[in-house]
Amino acid sequence: MKKILLIDISNSFTKTCLAVGDSISRVKRLPTPSLDAAQLRALHSPAKLDGVVLSSVVPEKNSEVQAAFSRVLEVGAGLDLGVGIDYPSPRTIGADRLANAAACAALHGFPGIVVDFGTAVTFDIVSQTGDYIGGVIAPGLNAMTSYLHDRTALLPNIKLREPSSAVGRSTRDAMLSGAVHGYRGLVREILSQIRSEAFPKKRPRIIATGGDAELIAGRVGLFDIVDPLLTLRGLLVIAQRNL
């Protein structure tokens, strides 16, 4: 069976893993700002790979992957994704969003909504006919809390976790409650609007992925599946259809 390296470059971290058949290995994470070809070659020997599939939202880092490996398939709207694209400017769709749509359709069916909790939170919709039709982009949870810390004199930077109560008894607890409960409210309202507009008659499968998926989605009660590795699974789906 082919050994495929899957690489997902996001704004904060780059995730890599090996895929053999339908199985993927343990995920390795590297800070994206310092990512370079030497790091990638040290983690994954090019000689042992049958191909590399890349999803990237940081274009300036793509050359590091190209320098590290000779056979790199960059995800874009021109590939066979297993989903159609009903969108005015297909080439402007983020590669991670296309990978999420591919994973949604191949692994969970359609219609579906994928909510990816990363540096930004993205909502991506696969229609009842299996087409990617667009979505929503909002600030990520860490971006919101970091903004409060950066733009105020007294509010601290907080580590995200489940609040012990809605009413904070300290500044940190108040910020934590506002961040987590407020963010769940944002997600709930956006999903409500998407469902009423795009799926008035049939409930879509709703999937959460990304770094904050388990924290936020676990208590909302709207998600059918929480899979932090969905984007990488989508890259494997794309690899199997194109390599």
163-210 pLDDT per residue, tens: 888 887 888 888 888 888 888 899 999 999 999 999 998 899 999 999
Does this model's pTM top 0.75? My answer is yes
- pLDDT for 99 equals 97
Residues ≥6 apart with Cβ < 8 Å to 4: 18, 19, 20, 49, 50, 51, 52, 53, 236, 239, 243
- Which is more confident, 76 or 213? 76
**Does one domain contain both 65 and 138?**
no
Catalytic residue among 22, 86, 96, 116: 96
Amino acid at 230: L
Q: What is the mean pLDDT of residues 105-134?
A: 95
The whole-number pLDDT of residue 41 equals: 94
Last-in-domain residue among 51, 74, 97: 74
Range(s) of the domain holding residue 66: 3-74
Q: What are phi and psi of 201, to 5 degrees?
A: -115, -25
Indicate whether 191 and 233 sit together in one domain.
Answer: yes
Place of tokens 């810390």: 149
* Tens-digit pLDDT profile for residues 88-116: 999 999 999 999 999 999 999 999 999 99
Number of domains in the chain: 2
User: pLDDT band at 131, cuts 50/70/90?
Assistant: very high
Are 43 and 81 in contact by the 8 Å Cβ rule? The answer is no
**pLDDT score recorded for residue 154:** 67
Average pLDDT value for the chain: 91
C-alpha dihedral (144, 148, 151, 152), degrees to nearest 10: 180
63 and 114 belong to one structural domain? no
Please identify which residue in the block is written with the tokens 């590939």. 79
pLDDT (average), residues 142-169? 78
To the query of whether residue 173 is one of the catalytic residues in this protein, the response is: no
Domain endpoint, select from 74, 100, 124:
74
> Which of 13, 7, 175 has its CA nearest to residue 95?
7
Residue 157's pLDDT is what?
Answer: 78
